[in-house]
Structures are given as structure tokens and as C-alpha cells.
Structure 1
């Protein structure tokens, strides 16, 4: 009974965290409304007296892994389903563990986005008598949970674990994870073929998902590297850096020296992942 009461209280804390969205924009946003609808049932289970950054006894969280340690990259239409795993230890063993991601300034009063599990218990795998790893599945959906560009970047990871003796620990920000707008990059080298020593124009475009409009748009004023791999070589070399224009377009010129493949590559930012275009082979006569 003690364990069930503890789990219910912690689940209620999740509900309150998603229901205390302060800003009018956040309250009206589809993602915030979806989070409320998903978590409302938790309120019926508990008065939610156990809030974030709380602990009782000797339960400890030792590790949290989000999406296998990779950024969560979301486009304009397809959902991204990923796993968050909580590893915890308690002398009595681990009964439950779960987590969710939230965006904002403060879990209690400043949440404007949340990605939460559809269940109130994690799926736990025993490591040994005192330790277990519990996992939950979350969904990043451009139609709801990542409903606008404002949500691109750093998200905080709430994590919680409950021991078999009813002890527990909750952390409103155990670590951070990055949710990014998917990017696309193209390359075209012309004319083709080209005489040796003549000018080659290399064009392309850097675009990224716009979660406000559900389309891809140019990523402007970004440094993009132009690279070349000579036929027979095993790797690319950077030739120059080109800055995308006001529409995300790229254009530069080089001298044709040998057969090989040209490509653009972008290192990424805090809101957009790295991306490399497909190479374009150029025949030099």
C-alpha cells in the first residue's frame, strides 16, 4: 500500500507540472493542451504532495539516458518515438522508475512544453538485487508536443524512482536533452562535364523544419563547408566556408582541377542538427 501511495503521489506531481503553464501563449498551444489532457487522470489518484526535487530514504538515480544519447530530431509531419531509461538503486530493490521531458524556465510555474509517457509506470529490467533500469516511451510530434519553433533547443529531463520499500527520489532536472528541427542540405556542381582549369559553380540550399508552418524553410546566414573528394581518395577535404543567403541558398565558385565529388556539410546549432548533402560527382576533362 505504501508503494502504491508513493507512486500515485509522484504521478500527481507530473500532472501538476504540466498543468501550471503560466503564459497565455503556452496555455493556448496545442502541445500544452495535449499534455494537460494526457496527465489529467493522474490528478484523480493523488493530492500530489510529492513535488519535484524531493526524496525519502536511500533511493538513488544513477543514470538517465534519452534516445540512446542522441539528439531528438523532428521534421514537419512524422512523429519521433524514443525511449528514456532511468537506472536507479535502493537497498530494497527498485519498484518503479519513469521520466518525462519538459521545456521552459521552471517546472512549477514556467512550463511551455512537455513530452510525457502514456502510462504511469516504467517498464523495469532488473540489473541486480538493488538496481534496475526502467524505461518509458515518449513521442515528439510536430502536430502537438513540438507545436512551434520556440520549443527547439534544450529540454529538461524529469526523472523519478521508487524503491520496493516505498522510498523515492524525484529530480525536476536530472539532465538536459536537445530537441532539434530536422535539416536538409543539397549540392549541385556545374557545368558538367567541365574542362580542367575552368570555373565550377557549386550551388545548394540549407533548409530546416519550421514547426510554426509545418514546412521546410531556408536556414539563413549559416556557415556551411564546401568539401571535395578527389576520385580515388578515401576522405573529403574542406575547400572553403560558404554562408547561406537570406533564403538559405548557397553559391560559390572553384576551379576544376580533377575528377571528384563535391558536397556541402553543416555543423549544426543548438536548435538544428548537423547535416551533410549527397555528393555530386563532377567529370573534369
Structure 2
């Protein structure tokens, strides 16, 4: 089973809604880990904060709320952009430095740390994504460690809405379970140590795009009109299908046979359904394609080239 964290404000607190998906997408251990990580994250974020750290301190600890531990995060590294289709699992690798106090044993079997990304503000995110498994940490000194992990995205099972495309922020958390089992009926969250920090980096999650081209007639006589048609589509995360990306600027490009350089012939704008059509004059044997530069929510795409013989 797999749990997807959808974050919403409810009665002044953040609540997580979840749904199950086939076990083939994630192991039970991954689900168990993710469930626990999200459960503690929710408890720590029941009070908003603008500090970039979870809104709880030793002075405000109450029953059922995790207590603060001396852990901070820095040197967070994540790729600048990731393209997500409609069915592919995307694992986003990250690394970061974890710094901890002498009283925090990061080598304990029940200590975990996780990277995550969130859409919107740290205080009130609209979506948050964790990894299937906890990060692995290698101690550098007695109080620092280098940690590596993944953030796992499953678009086919509701991880993303179309409005999620674009910029995301990154954070990390640390959990000292202290022998507590979040799945147990006797689970006591007040005995769990926790640290959380947002605003560590930014990345983009984009709707994967596709582009096609067909140049005709084939062959064509020299000096005659060649018509290029095609379509620009992108992933719709809400319908799990590709849909036309309309009214976008797309370049018609040509590469003469025997060369390796693409030349832009003209720039056109697709219709509201993403359909493309234009004409040009054919003078040489070669390859034709459409090329899309991309936007803040959709990555660049090049159509597979179409060779045309000129008589």
C-alpha cells in the first residue's frame, strides 16, 4: 500500500488525507515508514510558524505533541527541475547535512530522517511529498552527518494535481521514535522527539510534454510547398492522460541531410487544443521537427524528426 499526503487546513490545523494503492507501487515497510513520518509531521504542524521550523518548542510541548530535539539541516541539494508524466514513478534524489546535539543518537535503530518537498508556504502547504524510505546518513563528525534519500512521486495514484506544477520548496525532518510505534494503540506522540525545517531549497515539478510532427508530401518536388502538422500535449495529472497544450509558441526547424545543425525556419502558435500546422518551401533533402522551449510548468520538448526526400 501507498499513502499520498494531501495537505489541507482544517479547524486551524493541518490534516492529511490518504488513500491506498496497489502494493506493487511500494512495499509495506515503505508505507509504514511514510505513514509514520507524515503522522509526526502533521502533529508538529498543528500550529503555524513563519520561522521555517516546525511550530513547537520545549515550552509549548503538550501531551500528544512531539517534543523538540536538537537537529538542524543545511547544504540541501536537489535538482532544479523534474518532469512527471501520468504513470511513471519519479524518484527525486536529495542530499543534505544533518547537525545534531550530543544528546541525539542518529545511529539508533529508531532514529529516522526524511527529506520532503512541499507546494505553497511552509506554514500552509497545499501538497507535500515524502520518500518511500528514510534517508541514510553517514556521520562526518561527532555532531554532523551527510544524509541521502529520495522523494518518491507516483502521479498515477493521485500524488499531484495540475495546479501543483511549477515551483516547490524543500525541507527535512528528523524523528527520534524512542521506542514508540505509530501504528500501535498505545502510541504516545509526546514521547517522540522531532525536528523539522523548511525553506532549504527549491525545485520545479513539471507536467511532462510530448510533441509530434509530420511533414508532407513525401517525397516533395524542389521549390514546392511542404506542410508540417503536429500536436503539443502534456500530462494531465487529474485525468491520467495527455491533453493538448494550447496557444503555445513552437518552432519549425530543419536539418539538412548530411549536417548536424538544426535551423529555425519559423515560429508558430498552436491552436487552443495544441494542434500545429504551417507551410514552408522545400529545397533540400533533410529532417523536419517542431521544437517547444517549455514554460514554468511544462518542460521543453522536441518532436521526433521526419525525413523528407526532395526530388
TM-score (normalizing by structure 2): 0.69
Offset at 1:136?
Answer: 2.1
Residue 142 of structure 2 corresponds to residue 142 of structure 1: no
- Alignment-derived partner of residue 244 in structure 1: 270
CA distance in 2, matches of 1:81, 1:70: 14
What does residue range 29-44 of structure 1 map to in structure 2 within 5 Å? Answer: 32-34=17-19, 38-39=34-35, 43=39
Offset at 1:237?
Answer: 1.1
Identify if the C-alpha distance between structure 1 residues 46 and 224 changes in structure 2 by more than 3 Å, giving closer, same or farther: closer
Once the two structures are superposed, residues 187-211 of structure 1 have per-residue CA deviations (whole angstroms, 9 ceiling, x without a partner) of 1111011111000001111000111
CA distance in 2, matches of 1:148, 1:47: 24
Residue from 255, 261, 267 that aligns with 2:287: 261
- Alignment-derived partner of residue 21 in structure 1: 8
TM-score (normalizing by structure 1): 0.75
Once the two structures are superposed, residues 12-69 of structure 1 have per-residue CA deviations (whole angstroms, 9 ceiling, x without a partner) of xxxxxx6862279xx99xx842599944576579974997526999976442222xx2
Answer whether contact 1:206 1:249 (CA < 8 A) is retained: yes
Once the two structures are superposed, residues 147-166 of structure 1 have per-residue CA deviations (whole angstroms, 9 ceiling, x without a partner) of 4211111111113479xxxx
CA RMSD of aligned residues (A): 3.8
- Which is further off, 93-102 or 215-224? 93-102
- Alignment-derived partner of residue 90 in structure 2: 80
Residue 139 of structure 2 corresponds to residue 113 of structure 1: no
Offset at 1:133?
Answer: 2.2
Answer whether contact 2:207 2:236 (CA < 8 A) is retained: yes
- Which is further off, 84-93 or 221-230? 84-93
Give the secondary structure class of the aligned counterpart of 1:21.
strand
Unmatched segments (≥5 aa) in structure 2: 21-30, 58-67, 107-111, 176-193
- How many equivalent residue pairs? 256
- Which is further off, 237-246 or 53-62? 53-62
Unmatched segments (≥5 aa) in structure 1: 1-17, 163-167
Offset at 1:279?
Answer: 0.7
Offset at 1:274?
Answer: 0.8
Answer whether contact 2:115 2:151 (CA < 8 A) is retained: no
Once the two structures are superposed, residues 116-172 of structure 1 have per-residue CA deviations (whole angstroms, 9 ceiling, x without a partner) of 1334x420134566653212222111134534211111111113479xxxxx97431
CA distance in 2, matches of 1:19, 1:114: 7
